Amino acid sequence: MSAKNGKQFNNKKQTMVKDSKFYEKLLNTYLQGSVEAAKTAPITDTKISTATKKAIKHLLKQRKKDTFWDGKIEDTPALTAQYILYMHYMDMVDKEKQKKCVNYLLNIQNENGSWRIYAGDEGDLSYTIHSYFGLKVAGVDPNIPAMKKAKEYILKNGGAEKGNVETRFLLALFGKSSWKRAVPIPLHIVMLGKWFPLSMYNMAYWIRVTLVSMGILYYLKPVKDLGTYCDIDELWLDLKMKKKYTCPKKVKPFSIGNLFYQLSKFAKWLVKVLPKDRMLKKALRWVLEHQDESGDWGGIYPPMMYGSFMLKEMGYDNNSEVIVKAKQAIERFHYVTEDEIMQMSCVSPIWDTAWAIIALNRAGMPYDDSVIQKAKDWLYSKQIWAEGDWKIHAPNAKPGMWAFQHYNDYYPDTDDTAVVLMALQESIKDGKESEIKGFKAGCDWLYNMQNPDGGWAAFERKIDKKFLLKIPLNDLDNYIDPSTPELTGRILELFGRLGFSIDSPFIKKGIESLKVQQEDFGSWDGKWGVNYIYGAFGVLRGLGAIGYNMKEPWVQKCVHWLFSIQNQDGGWG
């Protein structure tokens, strides 16, 4: 290190220490009761008051176990089709559950024969292939109108050969296309340390926790032969494509994307020639170490399904504890009615409960009401005190945070932690040592999770290498977890409520990141909600809470945009 670089490093380190001391002093001042939290204005309008009382009554009816809230999460119906495939792959077919899954899929099919990603879209090719295949595996007659319409949609939109990376992988697992067509997952490369740019530790957690199990399966290349009754040759425009490896995303000849595609061909060869046994054992150990006690992996459905497939192929039987727990975790994500089962991607009890407390308190329910107190105690009981993968890029951070789901100890997130802390803010006035300790630990974790660019990402720091969006595996452009404006705004709001202002160095960095991320028309792109209104909501509340001058031109630009998109009935869509 040169003298100049050494001096810059030491100056940066001194600034970080100074910032940290400033943060500690101000937070401790708040925790000791010297800073008063902002009060919510009372509701005086009669109509709003009446509507609020009705909303409170409805919200209280939604509680689970008379304690917390956990609403329905709608995702692509293809997850329900994947659950059918899961049952068949694992030789665990429950005919009654399968029937309910079939009912759900047929009832939610789009008019054009497709299945959607989100409510109101006109269909997704890959997830329509999954749904069609899942229904056929379940024994649904391919000649019924629903299946004919689905087939027509698939062929009209390019056939099975246009399916995405996951579609190639699933079809290969069931022998409906060749493993030659699957995109390679070279574990020898992706399991290298964070120092290597293509390491899984530089990829978003939801990719990492799924990729290792899928990588093992790619090395093993198993085929679950269910018979010819569920063949889907009718979905291919050109059957020769079943054995041909092509780039799964559009790339220009002279581009980084095409370079990665050519390298992926080399990766296929690499997987063939490198010794596998040691790598498979290493990968298996990683997967087992990252399974929560509850059986979950990452609190989301895909790694639970692929993890189960992988364990089966690695010699675990269906009665083994890891597979039994994984099955229980998957089925906890079922939304069940009398006639249907919908497979949810995850559950949201922490998020829902925190917002419910905030809403009830702002609507006039005293914080010492038993409803809020029970929910408050439950949230403290869900605080995570174990280290997870976030420690890799945030070595100074210590545990004491929250996840979105019931169980996800390895991958808590900043958004839930911030909202939970806002919900628990009033609790520290009681002076309970354990609650003050928990509250401060959550704040400390958030402080240490700030990205170098000044913003906050959802799960980890420094998962923002944009070149990862170019690799063939990443056809959905979701391999990174960068700072997002609505999360930065939410965390600024929390610290603003705790007495921090624009004088705080880390707050200033957050503001600068928001200026950089603002869209030309004035708002912000909210990644974890829909979408520009959500971004504006998070950012404006954050800026207001820290005492920022809301008359600044760049802030007013967003305000003017919000007025410009207001609906004629006075609301926003």
Residue 43 has pLDDT above 80, yes or no: no
Query: What integer pLDDT is reported at residue 419 of this predicted model?
Result: 98
Query: What integer pLDDT is reported at residue 45 of this predicted model?
Result: 82
Rounded to an integer, the average pLDDT of 86-106 is 98
Choosing from 296, 413, 415, 444, the catalytic residue is 415
- Quick: pLDDT tens for 67-85: 999 999 998 999 999 999 9
Query: What integer pLDDT is reported at residue 82 of this predicted model?
Result: 98
| Contact assessment for residue 514 and residue 486, using Cβ atoms and an 8 Å cutoff | no
- Quote the longest CA-to-CA distance of the chain: 76
Tokens of 146: 């629903």
Q: How far apart are CA 543 and CA 524, in angstroms?
A: 13
Instruction: Give the 3-state secondary structure of residue 229.
Output: helix
Q: How far is CA 341 from the centre of its chain?
A: 22
Rounded to an integer, the average pLDDT of 375-398 is 97
Burial class (CB within 10 angstroms; exposed 0-12, middle 13-18, buried 19+) of 200? buried
Give the DSSP letter of residue 335: E
| Contact assessment for residue 179 and residue 171, using Cβ atoms and an 8 Å cutoff | no
- Quick: pLDDT tens for 331-371: 999 999 999 999 999 999 999 999 999 999 999 999 999 99
Read off the pTM. 0.93
Query: What integer pLDDT is reported at residue 18 of this predicted model?
Result: 56
Look-up of token digits 């609505």: 486
Rounded to an integer, the average pLDDT of 451-455 is 98
Q: How sure is the predictor about 26, in pLDDT bands with cuts at 50, 70 and 90?
A: confident
Query: What integer pLDDT is reported at residue 431 of this predicted model?
Result: 78
Query: What integer pLDDT is reported at residue 37 of this predicted model?
Result: 52
Query: For the chain, what is the radius of gyration of the CA atoms?
Result: 25
- Quick: pLDDT tens for 182-231: 999 999 999 999 999 999 999 999 999 999 999 999 999 999 999 999 99
Residue 3 has pLDDT above 50, yes or no: no
Secondary structure of 444-498 as H, E, C letters:
HHHHHCCCCCCCCCCCCCCECCHHHHHCCCCCCCCCCECCCHHHHHHHHHHHHHC
| Contact assessment for residue 379 and residue 412, using Cβ atoms and an 8 Å cutoff | no
CA angle 343, 479, 203 (to 5 degrees): 110
Q: What is the share, in percent, of the chain residues with pLDDT greater than 70? A: 95
Q: How sure is the predictor about 130, in pLDDT bands with cuts at 50, 70 and 90?
A: very high
- First CA to last CA distance, the chain: 55
Q: What is the share, in percent, of the chain residues with pLDDT greater than 90? A: 86
Rounded to an integer, the average pLDDT of 168-173 is 98
473 vs 131, more confident: 131
- Quick: pLDDT tens for 495-509: 999 999 999 999 999
- Quick: pLDDT tens for 403-431: 999 999 999 999 999 999 999 999 988 87
Query: What integer pLDDT is reported at residue 2 of this predicted model?
Result: 47
Q: How far is CA 462 from the centre of its chain?
A: 16
Task: Give the long-range contacts of residues 259-262, CB within 8 A, separation 24 or more.
Answer: 260/470, 260/471, 260/472, 261/472
Q: How sure is the predictor about 7, in pLDDT bands with cuts at 50, 70 and 90?
A: very low
Q: How sure is the predictor about 249, in pLDDT bands with cuts at 50, 70 and 90?
A: confident
Amino acid at 526: G
| Contact assessment for residue 371 and residue 356, using Cβ atoms and an 8 Å cutoff | no
Residue 4 has pLDDT above 70, yes or no: no
Q: Measure Cα distances from 235 to 101, 147, 182 in Å.
A: 22, 11, 17
Clarify whether 377 is annotated catalytic. no
Query: What integer pLDDT is reported at residue 120 of this predicted model?
Result: 84
Query: What integer pLDDT is reported at residue 23 of this predicted model?
Result: 82
Q: How sure is the predictor about 573, in pLDDT bands with cuts at 50, 70 and 90?
A: confident
- Quick: pLDDT tens for 286-315: 999 999 999 999 999 999 999 999 999 999
- Quick: pLDDT tens for 514-527: 999 999 999 999 99
Look-up of token digits 């409510």: 119
Residue 24 has pLDDT above 90, yes or no: no
Rounded to an integer, the average pLDDT of 370-393 is 98
Residue 34 has pLDDT above 60, yes or no: no
Q: How far apart are CA 59 and CA 361, in angstroms?
A: 12
Pick from 409, 408, 494, 410: which is nearest to 447 by CA? 494
Rounded to an integer, the average pLDDT of 228-236 is 98
